[in-house]
Structure 1
Amino acid sequence: MVDLEEVRKKIMDKLKISEKELDELIDKKVKEYGGLLNKEAATLLIFKELKELKDEDGGDEEKEEEKKGKEKEEMEEEVELDEIDVDIIPLEDVLERMIEINAVARIERIFDVKEVNGNKVVNILLNDGTRRALLSLWNEDIELIKTKNLKEGDCVLIKNAYAPKIYKDRVHLSIREGDIVKVKADLPPIEELIRMVNEKKLSFERKKIDELKEGEGAEIRGIIVAIHSSEPYFPVCEKCNKKMVLKKGYAICGCGNKVDEESEDLKWIFLCNVTVDDGSGNIKVVLNDNTDAIDFNELKRLVIEGEDLEKYLNEKLLGMDVVVKGIVVFDDYLQSPVFKARYWEETNPIEEFKRKKEQHNKE
């Protein structure tokens, strides 16, 4: 495990700077990478750059030839995974800010070079069948694609990586002082790995809220403890798919579309943000209209007649024991995971008893 304090001391000794000056240098490096690095990663990147500078100053031709020979060997050969003594972790088990990560995956896609705040970056989409990860190669590390002869579909070992963040179901990886090694491993073809990851999204296995993971489907059961939407039922325009405003007996859209509010052709949508708690934790849930738990004709009447919809929903939903099937996604506005319902219903005690009984018999 990296001793960050020791790394900081070595940088200060090498540059002959104070701790305050080092902190300023770290903040500058974070800004240089557009905030994509945290202070830990920036510190280790500065240390890596110092080591590379030291190697450059040596200028030893023999060392340079040895380095080129090693790069050529790495380009030409795949290594048997069994020959490498590292502990492998599935991508689904990687946590935010985890360090010293060793993972085996196939390259699903290599993106084009982009520029972020003056720095070049290439993102590589990895897939091990449990999850996708985005490996970012910055500046000189981009050369690894060429020197390692990396191609889409290749099986690679990501050594000593760091996970600065997890965003929208993808763990983001940085190799810092790590490496990428092409390996021979017992991993299915990329097409099968894509199928496996996508299949997990459609699985609706019953889980506790504290077991949920971004990008995966699940079924949860809990109590609605809060309602966050005051206008969850509204008409939408069939032409531009935007929310319409009810006015003088019509639903009116900014695009100019106008429909009678009582028309059967008028499309209505129910999107209600609630919090569900199951004792293990709680999560924001977006309920839809794929349910029999609510009388939507009654909701429509309340909206058209301008009655108190919020009061009705509080009386109807607050405290309701519900079963929700859906998928966990990252919400950009809330900056947190949200459970988007595919189908939901009020809990049926008899069905829950049968389920518990079946589960007990299996055990």
Structure 2
Amino acid sequence: MNTDRLVKEILKKIPKEELERRIEKKIKESGGLISREAAISIIASELNIDINDYVDEEEFNFSIMDISEGQSNVEVTGKIVDISDIREFRKRDGSLGKVRNITIADNTGAIRLTLWNDKVELVEDLEVGDVVRIENAYVRKWKDRIELSSGINFTIEKLEKYREENYPEIKEIYSVRELMPDMRVRVKGKVITVYEKKEFKRKDGTSGKVKAFILRDDTGIVRCTLWDDLSEVELNTDDVVEVKGYVRKGLRGLDIQVDSIEILKKGETIESPIVDTSQLPNYIGEIISIRGRILRIFPTRTVKFDDRERKVQDVILMDKYGKVRVSFWGGNIQKLKNVKEGDTVLIKHCKVKSYLTPEGEEFITLSAQSYSEVVKDDTVEVPDFPEKLIKIGDIKYLDEKFKRDVTTVGRVIDIQDIREFKREDGSTGKVRNIVIEDETGKIRVVLWDENATIDIKEGDIVKIINGYIRENRGVMELNVGRYGKVIVNPENVVVDIKRKFIGDLEIGDSAEIRGTVVGYIKQDLILYLCPHCNRRTTLNEEGRYICDKCGEVEPREVPVGALILDDGTGNILCRLYGSVVEKVLNTSREELKNMEVVVFERILGEEYVFSGTVNNRSEFIVRGVLSFNIDKEIELLKKIKDSMM
């Protein structure tokens, strides 16, 4: 190509300073792979200058990057970067055929050319480094990549005259930055990550083995893959190696399919400081080792990214200063196969990571590396901390950091149906709400996915482990997600809600009572409360709800009721709110909005079991309502009678 004439034409359109700036930018964007002359050609094309007028006769203007599937009669010029030996194969008619591959490259890319039968002889006098003209080739797709193939009228000719800057330099050793797909190369660098060897079954039923590692030099990193016998080579982080192989384009970038590997220098043994959980904030981004007891091993789960899916398994590790989550991704999951909950271990070589919670608080986790080890260690001294059960009434007083890890016990007083929903990634999730209570209060529990399908019945005692608190429209909820656990009716666990006669109730009592509805108080059936301060709102003439403190609001609609319950020893005014009203009347909130308070007439004379607390006005504030079961009532009455004797 006559570059001088091309430059003169470009300068008719842009100033010389602008041309120099663009040339420097093009070379920098390519990582230094293209020459000044190639950059000038690209700039000319962008300025709609027909560079065909400036091409020397010997070279085609058609670049390797322009080759696409389905083309025929392809004419292209390239430098030979690899030539294979001739291989024979048996054709379908029983005769012998021959095949040979060469790879050519220019500054835009590389491509493999397959020569068949008599065409293999056309490259007998050619060698790596020769620049050739190819005519009448056709493009085919083979194993998800396009390549050239020799047709009937195919020709290949060595060029004696060409511009060297249009083609890559043939090197003994390539840098990572210089790699292009379909090249056969030798690369030297340091091993920074080694993945575990995997075994697999081929389509023909035979077994295969594969192991991958990440290689780094001064210009970048590249994945290298070792197959079968090569996968047995012992590699460690920081080993210096030289690999020879074929470069292909994988899902995550370039990948060298290694033909041979030589370890030039063994890396030093990796050592990382052993720290405890209290020291982790001082090691963000660094590699450490940690000792402790495995409290929880969570099920393996799949995480979807934009371009792939990966499996991960988490554990919770505890030492005498606290707890931390350790994540094992992909092949690292195998490191957990010989440990169980309760084991004391040393986990070597974890990366310390941190992120901020929505409240702005730092949260620290650990991530196992490919060279991490999980070693059982009976010498680890971890105290047997008694499990800290939080009373339901105390949850609202927890500091924010403790609201991420709540363990509590309660009796189920309400259960809703399982609902399915669609996540943003298209997958289906499940969710179910239950309400639990103890003697201090009640709380709604949100069960997600697998936890939503656990068999739970009204009256069951449930233990929630590793739940987390969220607010939903101003209401505090206890969520049980992938790190949480639900145990139904755990052994030796009771919820101490005492059954009392109404006549024995005192102010401040938290108890369970049973009685007959003998009356109700006439009042509004729905309260419209401010979602911010929980005060009553008023409806103005324009149909808007106004809070005296917060102004115009969209109110919370809360069903309310006031029933008089009598058990023969006395009677008491019982105040009911929200879902308790819906359950007693067996009527939804939407339906109640269109009803009057006389709807309570339907339950006069009915018997109920209420749990709740006596306030300072001697009213019973109902937390929950349980279904009436005559057999349980007889058993309870016997226990009450025995306790009084």
Q: Which has the higher contact order (CA 8 A, sep 6+)?
A: 1
Structure with greater helix share of residues? 1
Band the TM-score falls in, shorter-chain normalisation: 0.3 to 0.5
Structure ID, larger Rg: 2
Structure number with higher strand proportion? 2
Q: Tell me the TM-score normalised to structure 1 length.
A: 0.37
